[in-house]
Amino acid sequence: MSLPAKKKRRKRKASVEAAKKLPHEHKRARAMVKSLSGNSRMWLCDGEYVYFRPTRVVNGEKVTVANPTTLERHRRFISEGQYTYVETQDDVEIYKVAESSPFARKGMFLGELSDSDVRRQAMLNACKRDWIAYTDCLEEMSGRLKGRYDTGIAARVYNDYLQYIDILIGMRGGPVAAERAAGLAGVRKRRGVGSGKLILLPAGMAS
């Protein structure tokens, strides 16, 4: 009786992985890569990590795509200790947010939420007076809309979203618009972000 022929062993392809693993890395990666693919999303923060894509390879050459204001702000945040470098994956630089930073927030990956879920989170965090999370929700909505529409249409759609959120907050007995505007302005001031952009401010509160 002859022995069965040995099965040929398949060679396993070598895989290249990052030396460091971020908590929930796959979950974060799906959200961040999708969000960073937009023309206006060079810099993102999920509350625990910052993702920054200052350059892209265009026609075989690396070119700077982040605007000077974003670059200056990013470097200032690093010098202030708001976040520290972890590693670079492809062309995306990753930084760990300091616990004391005004960007610090845990437990919510906005990049993978639907538009309606982001609006709902904005309402819930406003009612909890979690102004950092509330600000992040509004800026996530703003970034998505700016990537879909021209400036005028994006502002109108954003204003409609804010009015809807305002109704939901009112139904829950949450803070009035003036308190929310103050909370938002406080977070943006701590982050060193200008307050002149209509799309990032509550309806009727823009300057």
What does each of the 207 residues of the chain score in pLDDT, given as a tens digit? 455 555 444 444 333 334 455 555 555 555 555 555 555 567 888 788 888 888 887 788 888 888 888 888 899 999 999 999 988 887 888 899 998 888 888 767 787 788 999 999 999 999 999 999 999 999 889 888 888 888 889 889 999 999 999 999 999 999 999 999 999 999 988 888 764 443 344 444 433
| CA–CA gap between residue 62 and residue 182 (Å, rounded) | 41
| CA–CA gap between residue 55 and residue 157 (Å, rounded) | 30
Count the domains in the chain.
2
Residue 119 shares a structural domain with residue 192: yes
**Boundary residue ending a domain (69, 97, 125):** 97
Residue 184 lies in a domain: yes
Q: 44: helix, coil or strand? A: strand
Is the whole-model pTM more than 0.85? no
Q: For residue 45, which of 110, 138, 114 has the smallest C-alpha distance?
A: 110
Residue 91 lies in a domain: yes
The first and second tokens of residue 35, run together, are 């969000």
Residue 141 shares a structural domain with residue 91: no
pLDDT at residue 118, as a whole number: 92
Q: Which domain holds residue 31?
A: 25-97
CB 109 within 8 A of CB 31: yes
